[in-house]
A and B are shown apart, each in its own frame.
Chain A
């Protein structure tokens, strides 16, 4: 158990819909990272937040957005969902903002878009 929690574990929805994925980092960690893992794309970095502010952006689509709240939990919002958005979404956390820090991954949310 990494100490990072993600909800829900599974999510099934239809194309065009909007969903919100939630992540609580390890106690004491200020950075949260979101990743998308699909069969053909591997592990893709989406976005990083540090202490409530966006720190780095990766391959995140404009239909996706995220935020980190004062209690440091984070939400990833996916809208206008397409079939290709079906994937595992991982949240990871680290102590500081530096990418050199070890990242601890949550169990993931499996999103299925029908």
Chain B
């Protein structure tokens, strides 16, 4: 069945630095969604990517969908303390499968 893997599991970032989290699917996806969960909070929808090679930006966040629609990435530029949390990708094939998430901590 479909599996969605996310790496890294943990990301410790110095404030102001960039980082990227990656999401890989065992199958070709129809679309991929990204969610953010703050500590103690619930997942919040960030964005959905549908087209092969699609790139979308939200301020300092850049989301990319691979050409083969089997992988995706989230790049955060100039990390801020407000970026702390766990970022989940969720790949849609015949159902939505969530990755295990990348938990981000920021050193001020």
Q: Chain B binding site: helix, strand, loop or mixed by DSSP? A: strand
Asked whether A2 and B44 contact (CB < 8 A) given A99-B95, A99-B96, A100-B92, the answer is yes
Which residue of chain A is the closest to B95 with respect to CB atoms?
A99
Q: Would you call A112 an interface residue if the criterion is a C-beta within 8 Å of the partner chain's C-beta atoms?
A: no
Interface size class of B (residues with CB under 8 A): 20 to 34
Asked whether A42 and B101 contact (CB < 8 A) given A56-B95, A99-B95, A99-B96, the answer is yes
| B88 & A43 in contact (Cβ 8 Å cutoff) | yes
Q: Which residues of B contact A25 (CB under 8 A)?
A: none
- Chain B, residues 20-36, CB within 8 Å of chain A (1/0): the string is 00000000001101010
Bound-state Cα–Cα, A70 to B31, Å? 31
Number of interface residues, chain A, beta carbon within 8 A: 17
Q: Which residues of A contact B88 (CB under 8 A)?
A: 43
* Given A2-B44, A43-B101, A102-B48; 14 other pairs, CB 8 A cutoff: A2-B42, A42-B99, A42-B100, A43-B43, A45-B95, A90-B43, A92-B43, A99-B92, A100-B30, A100-B48, A100-B92, A100-B96, A103-B45, A105-B35
